[in-house]
Amino acid sequence: MSDADPNNEPAVIEDSTNNNNDTEETKFSWPPLESNPEVFTTYLQSIGLPTTFSIGEVFGFDEDLLAFLPQPVLGIIVCYERLIPKSEQRAQDKGRQEDYDQVDFYMHQSKVLDNACGIIACLHAVFNSPVVSVDPSSVLGKFRQDTTKSTPAEKCQALEQNTEFQNIHRTHAAKGQSAAITSGQSKVVHHFIAYVLDNKEGGGKLVELDGTKAGPVVVGDCDGDVLRGSIREVRGKLERGEISESLSMMTLNLAAGVRQWEKLSLSMTILNKTAREVANVMGGPKQRQPYLVRDCNLLSGSQ
């Protein structure tokens, strides 16, 4: 079954947040990850992301700070604290099963994948980038290949049953500057989502991908600029009181040391789609600035 076929999909996605049946002693199946680009880069490259790509960090929303990001930006990963009460989240869910076909890859998140939202956001970013190609023999490559024709619910089930992936995840969940949290859902108050461009001709629409929602959320036109489109949407969420100011934003981008984009063998279609961003690759790495957005102590799961 393909992502575009919603016929057998559940109408409501189960969310593990603050489940009353869980005790504080219950061990997480998928512990939360620290919102840390170094942790994410090491994790993703260990499971098959080519070293020509990495996870970067948005230090602030001003244009002067955005200029420090390696280009092109291929996807966005946001970590935030939701302020909408859990009882109202499903009523305000803008995700639609009818929009599964707006992206090449979308999966749901279940109670079993308790705090896997960080890696799920990464899967959404990586597998929806027309530039990134992973080794089919890697953990990422095998998961993608095995779920190519699966529905979002079937992809969720496939990750639940992938013990190799789960063991690697646990290793990286113990890394970073924060003390690892292995149990106690009330301690996890942040959630990861991804923003990507749609897969239609021209790819000009921003799409929010959150496995706890009923489907992708087509945000609207962003002129093919996933970075600034995501920033506008996050600012809107802040203004509407949907999230707190305790947030961080990371990017999927070319690694800072990659200067010759020709080595990526970009097709002309991809080149035209990202011409303005790819042209900036030759600028090379920039000096890092003090953190303005990130809190190294954010540990994020399915809150």
Query: Considering just the CA atoms, what is the radius of gyration of the chain in Å?
Result: 18
**Residue 85, class by beta-carbon neighbours within 10 Å (0-12 exposed, 13-18 middle, 19+ buried)?**
exposed
Phi, psi dihedral angles at 251 (to 5 degrees): -125, 145
Q: Which H or E run includes 243?
A: strand 243-254
- Of these residues, 108, 124, 169, 191, which one is catalytic? 191
In the chain, the largest separation of any two C-alpha atoms, in whole Å, equals 53
Cα separation, 14 vs 31, whole angstroms: 18
pLDDT in tens, the chain (303 residues): 444 444 444 433 444 444 444 445 688 999 999 999 999 999 999 999 999 999 999 999 999 999 989 888 999 999 999 998 888 888 889 999 999 999 999 999 999 999 999 999 999 999 999 999 999 999 999 999 999 999 999 999 999 999 999 999 999 999 988 777 776 777 777 999 999 999 988 768 999 999 999 999 999 999 999 999 999 999 999 999 999 999 999 999 999 777 554 445 444 444 444 444 444 443 443 333 333 333 434 455 654
Is 172 a catalytic site residue? no
- Choice among 79, 108, 117, 156 that is catalytic: 117
Residue 222 annotated to the active site: no
Looking only at the bridges linking them, the beta strands covering 190-197 and 73-82 are antiparallel
User: Rounded to two decimals, what is the model's pTM?
Assistant: 0.81
DSSP 58: -
